């Protein structure tokens, strides 16, 4: 992609600098100078929901960790039979962008009456009173080995998985997005769950596949 990016907005948050920029017809989100997400490479986020639905075709309630540009949320809303999607996003500005310039990109997903937006740290949210979800999809970082913030390591740990388990309905599925293979995390999943799959998904503008990890 040859176009030079144009900064739409740059803000300082308690977690550092966050930037929305436009490159041609696409948008990119940058966190503390590191690429976080873009509207031209959402195939694996959509695939995460499609793969989870294949494991649990009767999913009705979905919990999404991380809003991003809204692709995971949109895919969950579009899945057959889904009645409610709770999406937890730590950055209020990301939610604002999803109601603004990113709304057309994700089909105004936040305006869907089935969407429940929670602006909170996912780890803090999960420490609350559990409510059962048929699928929990985590898209909070670039993967377990490439976290946006150091404190997010807890989400990918044994203790983090224990918290997630409390929120799973019987027969529920955990889905995790990663920008690269994470063999240590996969080994942790295989020690903990009876069924685990590591599903490569071709990433746009990259020679390295994204990975979707499924577990139950």
pLDDT one-digit tens code per residue, 24-76: 999 999 988 888 888 988 899 999 999 999 999 999 999 999 999 999 999 99
Quickly state the pLDDT bin for 119 (edges 50, 70, 90).
very high
Residue 157 included in any domain: yes
Task: Please say whether the beta carbons of 85 and 135 come within 8 A.
Answer: no
Can you give the residue range of the structural domain that contains 199? 41-215
Instruction: Determine, yes or no, domain membership for 16.
Output: no
Q: Residue 74 domain-assigned?
A: yes
Judge whether 75 lies within some domain. Answer: yes
User: DSSP secondary structure string, 149-192?
Assistant: SGGGGGGGSHHHHHHHHHTEEEEEEEEEEESS--HHHHHHHHHH
Nearest to 160 by CA among 180, 134, 136: 136
The contacts of residue 30 (CB under 8 Å, 6+ apart) are 17, 18, 19, 20, 21, 36
At residue 155, the pLDDT reads 80
The verdict on residue 7 lying in a domain is no
**CATH code at 96?**
3.40.50.150
User: How many angstroms separate the CA atoms of 117 and 127, rounded?
Assistant: 17
Does the pLDDT value for residue 152 go beyond 70? Answer: no
Domain assignment present for residue 107? The answer is yes
23 found inside a domain: no
How many domains is the chain built from?
A: 1
How does residue 115 score in pLDDT terms, banded at 50, 70 and 90?
very high
Say if residues 125 and 88 touch (Cβ distance below 8 Å).
yes
| CB neighbour list of residue 25: distance below 8 Å, 6 or more residues apart | none
For residue 67, which of 91, 40, 100 has the smallest C-alpha distance? 91
How many degrees, rounded to 5, is the angle at CA 34 between CA 40 and CA 119? 80
DSSP annotation of 4 reads P
Percent of the chain with pLDDT over 70: 92
């Amino acid at each position: 992609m040859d176009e030079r990016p144009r900064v739409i907005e740059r803000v300082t948050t308690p977690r550092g600098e966050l930037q929305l920029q436009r490159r041609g017809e696409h948008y990119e989100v940058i966190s503390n100078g590191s690429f976080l997400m873009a509207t031209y490479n959402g195939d694996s986020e959509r695939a995460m929901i499609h793969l989870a639905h294949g494991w649990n075709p009767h999913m009705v309630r979905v919990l999404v960790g991380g809003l991003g540009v809204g692709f995971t949320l949109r895919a969950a809303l579009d899945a057959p039979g889904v009645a409610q999607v709770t999406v937890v996003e730590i950055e209020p500005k990301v939610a604002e962008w999803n109601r603004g310039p990113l709304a057309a990109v994700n089909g105004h997903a936040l305006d869907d009456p089935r969407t429940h937006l929670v602006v909170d740290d996912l780890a803090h949210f999960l420490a609350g009173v559990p409510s059962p979800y048929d699928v929990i999809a985590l898209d909070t970082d670039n993967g377990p080995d490439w976290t946006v913030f150091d404190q997010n390591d807890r989400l990918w740990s044994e203790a983090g998985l224990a918290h997630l388990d409390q929120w799973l309905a019987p027969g529920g599925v955990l889905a995790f997005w990663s920008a690269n293979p994470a063999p240590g995390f996969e080994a942790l999943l295989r020690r903990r769950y009876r069924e685990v799959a590591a599903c490569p998904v071709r990433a746009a503008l990259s020679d390295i596949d994204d990975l979707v990890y499924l577990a139950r």
